Each structure stands twice: as C-alpha cells, then as structure tokens.
C-alpha cells in the first residue's frame, strides 16, 4: 500500500523536525494540557483485585500505545495514596535504564476508576486532543528522540514534567486526529497479526528443536533398532543396546564455590548461574571474575566434558538446566548456585552431553521431584539419581553430529523469522511516525474504510 503526501506543507519552526502539513498546528505538550506527577505506593500494596493501578514498569511491558487493562490492583484504602487517572490521560514512565526508552508512554483506556503509582508523569489533554491520536503521537520515533534528549542521570535515567512540557508534536483538527487514529488502529492490527503468526512459527520451531533433541537422545538415529523398556516412565522404550543408568553411577558431583561478595569483580574467570542458564555450552569467556586461590581452582575448576546444572531458583522449571564445558577455561571456578557433574572417562562424549542434559525429559524429571516452598533447590542426591540412557561412544558422536546439522537448519529458519518480525516492527513504527507527523495523507483511506 502506498500513500501520497499532503498537498501543501509549511515549515514547522523546529529545524530538525522539518515540514508539517499546512493546516496542522505545531504544539508543545504544555499547550495540550497540564503535566502532573504520579505518586504513591510500593509493591507491597498489590492485591489480587481492587482499584486498577498502572505502574511505570507497565509502560515498558505493554508493547502497545494504549493501556486497556491494569496488571495490578490496590485496595480502595491504599488507592487514596495514589494519583487518580482518567480515561484518555497519557502516562509517561519517569525513569528507566535506557535513554532510548526513557519516557515510554501509553494512553489510559481503562474505563473504571483507576490510579497510577510514582515514577509516572500524567498528561491530562484538553478537549481538542483525541486520546487515541495522542497515544500514537507521544510515543512515535519523533517523540522518542525528543524524550531521549531530555533524560537525565547515570545508572538510572529520569525525565521530569518540566522537560516533557517542551516535547513537540504535530496536531491536526480533532476530526483528522480521529481519522488518523482509526487508520493506524486498522493497519497496526494487520501488522500485529502478521507478527503474531511469525512469533507462533518461532514457538513451533522451538518445539520442533526440543522434539528433535529428545527423540535423538532417547531413541537414537536408527528407526529399525530393536528396543527395550527402560523401566523409566519418561524415557519409555530405548534402543536395546543402550545402557540405562543413574547419573551418580558414572561420575562425580561437586557444588560450586561459595565466597564473599567482596571477592567478585576482578581476578580469574568465574562461571555464573546465568552463564549456564542461558547457554547449552559453557561460554569460553565466562561473565564473571573472582579472586580465587589455586586450591579453589583445583577443587572448582572445569574440564572438557564437565556438565554444570543450576541448583536453586524461585521456579522448579529453572532447576537442573545444564551447560556442557567443551573447552578448558584456565584458572576458572564456578558458582555455588551450580552443581558440576564430571563423568567417568569414556562414558560421555561432550558433544552428546550438551544435548542429553538439555532434553525435555530431564527438565520434566527435575520439576517433578521439586518440593517448592519459597525456592526450589536441587540436591546432589536428586541429581545423582537422575536416570539417563547412554549409547556407545561412537554412536554418541554420530548423534551429536546429526543434531548439530539438523539444529543449525532450525536455527537459520528461526533467525530468518526473527528478521521478518524485526522488519514488520520497523514497518509498524515507520507507518505510525509518518501518519502522526503528516508525512503521508491517510484521510482518503480512512474515509473509504468508514464507508
């Protein structure tokens, strides 16, 4: 779909913003309505139901220009300490970690009585402004660029009402604002539907990846191989010539290094919980540094073939996540929130281990054994009793190579799909910015859609 520009333009008076349609106004937010500082409350106020409460973090996680429902609630009594918001108010996040996202905004479309917490700034527009149009205009790339220049601070960035008052947007008549908003609602809905399809494809590719791994490490590559009952429910039948053992019978377990916080930040390589949780292979350059001794490195060091498991988490699903060490990391140690499994020589090929311990069956086994109170925790005893099936080493090498090839194909498909999503998101952002700055004339489109 192609769009024409407006027939006539004029200079906006703001050099870097360029031209604006001749009949549009150039306004600063202070000319649209007062900007008010949100107030009140802590996370301890959150209840399951009550008065809808919008917090600054919600503005970063909605992925929308509008807030249609609250994610959290407070009691009517606690709501008195919060700032009351109205239908059509524009809410800005007053703090954040990234200048590119500072001042992220959305229009309140909650029809019930609602409030917002501190670290928000509220624009209360006058009757000449259409809230739906402001939703798009106040978070377009033109607005984001201005907000980024207003951000203050080092670690945490802040933006204040006095700065937001200076933010410039282009404003047509209320009727035209409504037409532009209707157009963007329709067009972004189409793009969002395409994005959702691509995201679903990524989910299917991830499911396919897990299925391919699980099948290969429990059934092998030969569909005609004689099978036997493993005696383990989640393993089912396995090739007849594979050994079914408990993990602790074929290696040694070791909890990681526990040391005071003052030892971190400098020194030798330190494998963190995140290094394991985020990777199937232990990174050659771990994310942490620690001041460790030679004795520490001897006891908590890593060798090729070692497997690290996450030991504790708030969720049982995050317990027993594994990463395999494929290279020696000199002078390294690993975190106390991890358990190291060091297999006996000649038992496991490291390339095979990286798949064996990341299959869904292993994760499901650990989740089923957890007694979650406040945190889930995996003991050496539970890990020692983990059932695994082990083919001969030559077959492990073949399975690993086959999985490397197949999963690379899936990785490429996933990367292509992620690129498609990025392009659609760019298209969405560009379309919104072009419409709310008058670079394209969508009035004819809006009229034909209404007809």
pLDDT tens, 319-349? 889 999 999 999 999 999 999 999 999 999 9
One domain for residues 236 and 385: yes
Q: Is 106 a domain residue?
A: yes
Can you tell me the distance from the alpha carbon of 97 to that of 81, in angstroms, rounded to the nearest whole number? 26
What average pLDDT does the segment 253-260 reach? 92
Which of residues 171, 193, 212 is at a domain's end?
171
Residue 450 above 50 pLDDT?
A: no
The CATH number covering residue 95 comes to 3.90.220.20
Q: Is 209 a domain residue?
A: no
One domain for residues 312 and 422: no
At 351, the pLDDT band (50, 70, 90 cuts) reads very high
What average pLDDT does the segment 198-202 reach? 97
pLDDT tens per residue across span 231-243: 998 899 999 999 9
At 369, the pLDDT band (50, 70, 90 cuts) reads low
Q: Is 228 a domain residue?
A: yes
One domain for residues 424 and 305: no
Q: Is residue 178 exposed (0-12), middle (13-18) or buried (19+ Cβ within 10 Å)? A: middle
Q: Is 124 a domain residue?
A: yes
pTM above 0.85, yes or no: no
One domain for residues 59 and 96: yes
One domain for residues 36 and 98: yes
One domain for residues 411 and 340: no
Q: Count of domains in the chain?
A: 3
One domain for residues 278 and 382: yes
State the residue range of the domain holding 306.
Answer: 221-390
Q: Is 216 a domain residue?
A: no
pLDDT at res. 299: 95
Can you tell me the distance from the alpha carbon of 227 to that of 378, in angstroms, rounded to the nearest whole number? 32
| Bridge partner residues of 96 (DSSP) | 157
One domain for residues 144 and 188: no
Torsion angle, CA of 384/388/394/395, rounded to 10 degrees?
-170
Residues, the chain = 451
pLDDT tens per residue across span 156-175: 888 888 999 999 999 999 99
Residue 374 above 50 pLDDT?
A: no
One domain for residues 181 and 273: no
One domain for residues 279 and 228: yes
Torsion angle, CA of 272/215/249/350, rounded to 10 degrees?
-50
Q: Is 92 a domain residue?
A: yes
Three-state secondary structure call for residue 132:
helix
One domain for residues 152 and 44: yes
What average pLDDT does the segment 103-121 reach? 90
Which of residues 349, 368, 390 is at a domain's end?
390
One domain for residues 262 and 341: yes
Which of residues 348, 372, 390 is at a domain's end?
390
Can you tell me the distance from the alpha carbon of 29 to that of 52, in angstroms, rounded to the nearest whole number? 26
């Amino acid at each position: 779909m192609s769009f024409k520009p407006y027939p006539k333009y004029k200079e906006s008076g703001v050099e870097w913003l360029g031209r604006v349609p001749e009949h549009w106004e150039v306004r600063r937010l202070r000319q649209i309505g007062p900007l008010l500082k949100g107030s009140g409350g802590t996370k301890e106020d959150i209840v399951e139901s009550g008065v809808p409460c919008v917090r600054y973090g919600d503005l970063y996680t909605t992925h929308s220009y509008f807030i249609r429902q609250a994610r959290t609630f407070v009691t009517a009594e606690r709501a008195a300490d919060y700032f009351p918001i109205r239908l059509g108010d524009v809410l800005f996040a007053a703090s954040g970690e990234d200048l590119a996202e500072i001042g992220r905004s959305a229009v309140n479309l909650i029809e019930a009585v609602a409030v917002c917490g501190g670290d928000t700034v509220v624009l209360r527009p006058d009757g000449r402004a259409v809230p739906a149009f402001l939703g798009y205009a106040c978070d377009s790339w033109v607005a984001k660029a201005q907000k980024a220049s207003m951000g203050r601070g080092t670690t945490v960035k802040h933006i204040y009402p006095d700065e937001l008052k200076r933010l410039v947007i282009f404003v047509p008549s209320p009727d035209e604002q409504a037409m532009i908003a209707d157009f963007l609602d329709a067009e972004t809905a189409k793009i969002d539907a395409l994005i959702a399809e691509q995201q679903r494809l990524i989910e299917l590719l991830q499911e396919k990846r897990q299925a391919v791994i699980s099948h290969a490490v429990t059934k092998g590559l030969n569909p005609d191989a004689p099978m036997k009952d493993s005696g383990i429910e989640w393993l089912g039948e396995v090739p007849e010539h594979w050994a079914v053992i408990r993990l602790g019978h074929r290696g040694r377990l070791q909890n990681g290094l526990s040391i005071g916080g003052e030892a971190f930040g400098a020194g030798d390589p330190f494998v963190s919980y995140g290094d394991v949780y985020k990777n199937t292979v232990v990174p050659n350059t771990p994310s942490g540094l620690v001041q460790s001794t030679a004795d520490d490195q001897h006891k908590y060091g890593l060798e090729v073939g070692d497997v690290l498991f996450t030991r504790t988490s708030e969720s049982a699903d995050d317990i027993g996540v594994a990463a395999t060490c494929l290279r020696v990391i000199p002078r390294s140690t690993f975190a106390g929130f991890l358990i190291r499994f060091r297999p006996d020589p000649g038992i496991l090929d490291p390339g095979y281990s990286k798949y064996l311990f990341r299959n869904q069956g292993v994760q499901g086994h650990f989740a089923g054994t957890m007694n979650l109170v406040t945190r889930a925790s995996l003991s050496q005893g539970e890990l020692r009793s983990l059932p695994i099936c082990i083919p001969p080493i030559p077959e492990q090498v073949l399975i690993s190579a086959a999985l490397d090839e197949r999963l690379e194909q899936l990785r490429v498909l996933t990367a292509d799909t992620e690129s498609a999503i990025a392009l659609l998101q760019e298209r969405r952002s560009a379309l919104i910015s072009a419409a709310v700055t008058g670079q394209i004339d969508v009035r004819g489109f809006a009229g034909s859609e209404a007809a």
